[in-house]
Amino acid sequence: MWQLADKTLDSRLLIGSALYPSPTVMQQAIAASGAQVVTVALRRQSPQQGGGQQFWDRLKHLDVHLLPNTAGCQSVKTAIATAQMARELFDTHWIKLEVIGDDYSLQPDPFGLLEAARELIDQGFEVFPYCTDDLVLCERLVEAGCRILMPWGAPIGTGRGLINPYALKTLRARLPDVTLIVDAGIGAPSHASQALEMGYDGVLLNTAVAQASDPVAMARGFGHAVQAGRLAYQAGLMPARDLAQPSTPVVGTPFWHQS
């Protein structure tokens, strides 16, 4: 069990609700993953207008915590307005804050992100900022009041995994008391396991499951990978060595011979 903001959770996997071939597959995959936090994009669905009713009904039956996001927002003003609407519609003060600065890479705008985070925290939100792995930006977000950071592993939807392990390890070492969740770029269960092995508190992913040939089986695989990575971190990984070292010592051990 672990603490995410004001919630106690069992699973360290957070999962998205977009891109699935059908609402039924989405529901089955999320259930198979064991995830207890599901992200939803307010701008993609409109429950107040009756849009995506089947989608919302299936999410309600999953008994999960919703993490609305401001996906697609490219300005501070739009992100703040979207967060305010999400709080009203979903009755939660949680918000995954996205302020996109570049259409090609979908890289977050660090200046807009920090400005929006400060404003939303002042308004009582628990802000989960989607950010790059830049140490100074992350430190500024923490100083602004963010208790959770969501640095990318790679650009959204690329599936390239953890392209800068050094930067991610640096964040973990320099921000030991901050909840860190790798968000974006996770393409394989091994990527998720690697993040947990580094000491990250969790991972958030969507495309790797939703667009798999078998989303349900892939979701189950990610659930196991996250558990394996966390257990490995707790147990203590063996250090990498330049020279081979026998697993069976030969010095001081008896050997048998026939006379």
Positions annotated as catalytic residues are 96
**E runs forming strands in 25-178:** 37-41, 65-69, 94-97, 126-131, 148-151
- Give strand pairing partners of 13: 203
Distance CA 15, CA 159 (A): 15
Pairing of strands 7-9, 2-4: antiparallel
Spacing of C-alpha 257 from chain mean position: 58
Distances (CA, A) of 173 to 33, 135, 169, 198: 29, 11, 6, 10
Dihedral angle, C-alpha 69, 160, 102, 144, nearest 10 °: 50
Output DSSP code: residue 231: H
Which amino acid, one-letter code, is at 59?
Answer: L
Output DSSP code: residue 11: -
- Give strand pairing partners of 133: none
